[in-house]
Amino acid sequence: MPIDPLYARYPFFEGARDAVREADISPAALIAEDAPAVERGTERVERALMEGSVVAEEPRRWDTREELLSYPIARILVSLIETPAAVEKYATAEAATARERFEADFATDDGLQSGGRTRASREAVLREFDLADAVRPDRQERTGGGQRGRSGGRGTRAGSGGREPSHYWIDLGPYLDLADAQWSSRWRLVNREVAAGAVRITTEDLSRILEAAVERRVANGLPFEVRGTDGGDAIAEALSGAVADLRALLNDTDPGRQTVDAVVPALFPPCMKTLVRRARGDEALSADAEFSLISFLVAFGMDAADVTTLLDVGGDAKERVETRVEYLADSGGTQYPPPSCATMKAYGDCVDPDERCETISHPLAYYTDAVREAGDVRDWRETAGES
């Protein structure tokens, strides 16, 4: 029985789960035979932790079946990591990727394509999350000299045809359930237009709400018990190497050291100096190298503007770096510590180690020691500001 290509794009859909069950495909069997879906599932989690995305680095390498089956494998891996942060970051990445795909599908919704459905309509996605009756387009927006009226009551469902509206009404219950006031102050009800038990939102707001629905569904049931279940110990053993590598991405830090806030590129460890030089020379860094460098820079407070200025990047590279900085940093500081020296060696990015490298185990420890030893230093950002 062929697998609907739509489910490869959205493996968290109820229909995707049914398709796997009906095909009688056992994740345990796939893992035992080290099937391609296992490699893709591992990549799925790794990119979720490092990139905030689950899109394959080489999409054409994987067929529809492998892409779909990588999802249950990824859930097993996340469960075996046994770290709450793994669940949070994985679910966030799946949801962010889904949102990008939703928006692309909605913008080019033209029905069916040969070989199966490859795009999802907005109406179908709303049905998937039981929101079809709760979300309605605002079809009385201001047009010409006309006055927009409130259409918060029952009316035409979203995605039912006609010109795409720029605003929607969503019932108050689902809005309160899925929207988070911590996203920004505009999500608070006091800052929204509310009428007839519904809240007026933009098309972009609706995408954010659907993203939250995906994140909740993906996180639901994670982590689950693998070890101690029927065949679970064998699964855990077979995936132990991949799990150790993935766990290192979350726990790879030297907790005995404290970093500093000053940015002094001349005192960076040799590995980071080399990566900065390569980035400034317009060299495309590998995903591992770029993650190592940016997580290092974010760790002592550099924001997106600081990082892109230091690396002297523009165009698509600038946008990519800004996105990664936003993903790696939040108001509380870095979410992911930069890799340790051991991991840098494994990546092949440990270059020209000096005497200080022999006494430390982490690039941040190197930098902290170097700044403290130097004493009175001048922050690079002051110099950049003067320039």
> pLDDT for 55-83, tens place per residue?
999 999 999 999 999 999 999 999 999 88
Question: What is the model's pLDDT at position 210?
Answer: 97
Q: Are residues 200 and 182 in the same domain?
A: yes
* Residue 233, both tokens: 């110990």
Q: Is residue 78 a contact partner of residue 70, using CB atoms and an 8 Å limit? A: no
Q: Are residues 186 and 324 in the same domain?
A: no
Q: Are residues 359 and 258 in the same domain?
A: yes
Q: Are residues 156 and 110 in the same domain?
A: no
Q: Are residues 240 and 109 in the same domain?
A: yes
Question: What is the model's pLDDT at position 114?
Answer: 37
Q: Is residue 129 a contact partner of residue 220, using CB atoms and an 8 Å limit? A: no
Structural domain contains residue 214: no
Q: Are residues 237 and 146 in the same domain?
A: no
Domain that holds residue 382: 253-386
Q: Are residues 258 and 172 in the same domain?
A: no
Question: What is the model's pLDDT at position 386?
Answer: 57
Calculate mean pLDDT across residues 355-368: 87
- Amino acid, res. 21: R
Q: Are residues 193 and 163 in the same domain?
A: yes
Structural domain contains residue 372: yes
What burial class does residue 116 get, using C-beta atoms within 10 Å of its C-beta: 0-12 exposed, 13-18 middle, 19+ buried? middle
Question: What is the model's pLDDT at position 112?
Answer: 42
Structural domain contains residue 217: no
- Residue-wise pLDDT for 267-298, tens only, equals 999 999 999 999 998 888 887 888 889 989 98
Which of 246, 277, 304 is a domain's end point? 246
Predicted confidence band of residue 22 (pLDDT cuts 50, 70, 90): confident
Q: Whole-angstrom Cα distance, residue 176 to residue 134?
A: 12
Predicted confidence band of residue 134 (pLDDT cuts 50, 70, 90): very high
Structural domain contains residue 37: yes
Question: What is the model's pLDDT at position 336?
Answer: 65
Q: Are residues 305 and 201 in the same domain?
A: no
Structural domain contains residue 373: yes
Q: What letters, b where the CB count within 10 A reaches 16 and e where it falls short, cover 189-200?
A: eeeeeeeeebbb
What burial class does residue 247 get, using C-beta atoms within 10 Å of its C-beta: 0-12 exposed, 13-18 middle, 19+ buried? middle
Q: Report how many domains make up the chain.
A: 3
Q: Are residues 262 and 324 in the same domain?
A: yes
3 state SS of 334: strand
Structural domain contains residue 212: no
CB neighbour list of residue 266: distance below 8 Å, 6 or more residues apart: none
Whole-prediction pTM: 0.69
Structural domain contains residue 370: yes
Question: What is the model's pLDDT at position 254?
Answer: 46
pLDDT at 128 over 50: yes
Q: Are residues 294 and 270 in the same domain?
A: yes
Q: Are residues 189 and 233 in the same domain?
A: no
Structural domain contains residue 215: no
pLDDT at 152 over 70: no
